[in-house]
Amino acid sequence: MNNYHKSVLLDEAIKFLEVEKGKKYIDATLGGAGHTSEILKNGGIVLGLDIDEDAIINALVNLKFEDGRLKLVQGNFNNIKNIANENGFSKVSGILFDLGVSSHQFDERKRGFSFRFNAPLDMRMDMSLSVTAKDLINGLTEPEMTELFTKLGEERFARRIAHAIAKKRLEEEIITTEDLANLIASSKPYKGKIHPATQVFQALRIAVNDELNALRETLPQAVELLESKGRLTIITFHSLEDRIVKHFFVDQEKKGKLKIINKKPIIPTELETEINKRSRSAKLRIIEKI
């Protein structure tokens, strides 16, 4: 493909999706289209969906399938059922989710996802959204920030960081990733290789894009779209996502609606984490519809 995004657990996800020639599949998080490309190579018919317009444009430029086996739609996967029905994918053999942020989003300075670059605090996956990370940092109250950083970032020093932000805002507005990252670093003790701003940036990104609610909303729709023996494969990157997926799968299995394929999540090999450090927290879970 290209350098837009390096798909994590690519071989494992495609293997467990069990792609068959002529069957329909949905890639609900197109990203760099690595998973979609493999499904197409194995003969599948794909509906590629992404909330980020850049991902759709990238796929249009780089995927060279002229036989009508690929449809691309910009949209949020929390509306996956309607999008699928509108595009002739009302029953499919498999659906794949690769959650989180793409390499392109992290590496594109202007998007404001990463503290590696000094950029406006944005973090919107869909650029038509009205609220940015800057709006949250400068608009939430200190208790609201504490709750946000605790719940969505699992940040131990949430109260201390929120207080520092609230104090700084009295002097000037916090407008860039560097402003925020430096403020966080000076507000908490830290050691090791993980940047001290990681969890707060995660919390802001999840809140701006309403990621957890979108995940909760899409899971029952995805199961409904699957035909019998159809498979749903989901790659998560942090405990909040994984918990939602795990509990949903367990609940649906108890109700006799699906079968969990792997009781323990599949994680990247040492080689993959060495090549792609962003894969280190990935977990893959698979279910099959009864």
Report pLDDT digits (tens) over 185-243: 999 998 878 899 999 999 999 999 999 999 999 999 999 999 999 999 999 999 999 99
Q: Is 103 exposed, middle or buried (0-12, 13-18, 19+ CB in 10 A)?
A: middle
So where are the chain's domains?
Answer: 10-104+211-289, 111-209
Considering only the top CATH level, what class is 111-209? mainly alpha
pTM for the complete prediction? 0.91
- Which residue type does 209 have? N
Instruction: Say yes or no to pLDDT of 69 above 90.
Output: yes
Please state the rounded mean pLDDT for residues 255-269. 95
Lowest mean pLDDT among 7-21, 90-104, 134-148, 215-229: 90-104
Q: Which fold has domain 10-104+211-289?
A: Rossmann fold (3.40.50)
Report pLDDT digits (tens) over 35-51: 999 999 999 999 999 99
